[in-house]
Amino acid sequence: MKTYYLKINPEQFESSQLMPAADILVSGGLVAFPTETVYGLGAVVDHETALQNIFQVKGRPGDNPLILHIWHHRQLSGIVETVDPRYQKLIDAFWPGPLTLIFPKKANISPTVTAGLPTVAVRMPSHPVARELLRLVDRPVAAPSANLSGRPSPTRGEHVREDLDGKIPMIIDAGPCQAGIESTVLLLAEKPYILRPGSVTREMVEEILQEPVEVVTSGEKVDRPQAPGMKYRHYAPEAPVTLVEGEELAVIAAINRMIEETGENVVVLAFSEHLDCYRNVTVLDLGPRESPWIAAARLYDLLRSCDQMKAGRIYVEGLEKTGVGTAVENRLFKAAGGNVIHVS
Ligand code: AMP
Ligand code: MG
């Protein structure tokens, strides 16, 4: 299949430029499109073959549910059974934006979307290109990240091309994604749980709900299947990743010791302040230690450049687990397949 590559300037574009993309979606084709989190691989919710193609193209396990994307609040009533008043507060505060909410689903929503769960995940993206595309289509669009399953998520049009060229009819390239990590996924049970941390942080949700929110990424505390991202190495570059956490100087010392014991092609992901602390290895810049949102925006691009450099081994300095740092640490934990060293 020939993939049409559509370049769009997100600050200045005409709706008509997106019409071919909307036509492809409406007729059951797949389109990769930019959002403020990562690039998504979209299919309209009511086209079963298109939904199944998402799983086929990505090599995605069928037990991993998809998130539905909407542009207008009125679309919610066609998808979900009820809206908890606590959700309404979060919707008012964070939509459009990188927060996915899990609702009881309407019967008409395909089990392909929900992986057979009684719930459906919904979000309203804020990216102008995503919003305009969703407006033109005017049906909910199911979209996971537009990468091959297991690889780092795509935060640039080129990343989507690396993974999906020749497999889908269209990629819309609107430059780098602002947030760079996937949306926060929130479930309200008897208590609120964050199932996947993102750039809408626990602290931000707590302020709106005025109650404590727990971050549970393994699913052990909530009554639902474990999120598949936990079972496998995920978001991962080809080389093995070691995440080193602990006191700043101890982390640098530990990574330097491991560099001496390791063979060729070591890459270190370090904070801007520490770029000079490592000798004879490639060091990539995570941004300042105090600005984890910069690490979030760069993370997947850095992991993909490790592949391009044919890294043999990757060491990453750990982040503080507060604010957006929690989300970056979560992705690194999965990229490392749980290979985390704590030093002090
Ligand atoms: P992605 O495919 O990368 O956009 O990620 C979608 C993620 O959303 C899944 O891996 C799940 O963690 C989460 N998700 C989607 N729907 C549900 C649901 N009904 N219940 C729990 N988690 C969900
Ligand atoms: Mg994904």
Strand partners, 314: 241, 267
User: Alpha-carbon distance 36 to 180, whole Å?
Assistant: 7
Q: How far is CA 62 from CA 31, 58, 116, 145, in A?
A: 20, 11, 9, 15
Distance (Å) from CA 260 to ligand 1 centroid: 40
Q: Cβ(35)–Cβ(172) under 8 Å?
A: no
* Shared domain check, 184 and 36: yes
User: Alpha-carbon distance 207 to 222, whole Å?
Assistant: 22
Distance (Å) from CA 150 to ligand 1 centroid: 14
Indicate which atom in ligand 1 lies nearest the CA of residue 60.
Answer: 2
54 lines ligand 1 (CB under 6 A): no
The proportion of the chain whose per-residue pLDDT surpasses 70, expressed as a percent, equals: 96
* Shared domain check, 90 and 20: yes
65 lines ligand 1 (CB under 6 A): yes
Tell me how many helices (H) and strands (E) the chain has: 11, 16
Residue 74 in any domain: the answer is yes
Ligand whose nearest atom lies closest to the CA of 121: 1
Instruction: Give residue 164's domain range.
Output: 4-215
Helix (H, G, I), strand (E, B), or coil: what is residue 12?
coil
CA nearest ligand 1 atom 12, residue: 227
Provide the number of structural domains found in the chain: 2
* Shared domain check, 245 and 211: no
Q: Cβ(21)–Cβ(34) under 8 Å?
A: no
Confidence tier at 224 by pLDDT (50, 70, 90):
low
Q: In sequence order, what DSSP letters do the residues of 128-169 get, joined into one string?
A: HHHHHHHHHH-S-EE--BSS-TTSPPP-SHHHHHHHHTTTSS
CATH number at residue 179: 3.90.870.10
Residue 160 in any domain: the answer is yes
* Shared domain check, 95 and 206: yes
Strand partners, 56: none
pLDDT tens digit sequence for 3-59: 999 999 999 999 999 999 999 999 999 999 999 999 999 999 999 999 999 999 999
* Shared domain check, 278 and 176: no
Q: Which amino acid is at 46?
A: D
User: What is residue 168's predicted lDDT score, i.e. its pLDDT?
Assistant: 98
The proportion of the chain whose per-residue pLDDT surpasses 90, expressed as a percent, equals: 90
pLDDT tens digit sequence for 235-268: 889 999 999 999 999 999 999 999 999 878 999 9
37 lines ligand 1 (CB under 6 A): no
The angle at the Cα of 122, spanning 129 to 154, to the nearest 5 degrees, equals: 50
For residue 219, pLDDT over 80 is answered with no
Tokens linked to 145: 């990240």
CA nearest ligand 1 atom 13, residue: 65
Residue with tokens 């719930």: 119
User: What is residue 315's predicted lDDT score, i.e. its pLDDT?
Assistant: 98
CA nearest ligand 1 atom 5, residue: 144
Residue with tokens 């049409």: 4
Q: Cβ(219)–Cβ(315) under 8 Å?
A: no
pLDDT tens digit sequence for 155-194: 999 999 999 999 999 999 999 999 999 999 999 988 999 9
Residue with tokens 């330097």: 256
pTM (predicted TM-score): 0.95
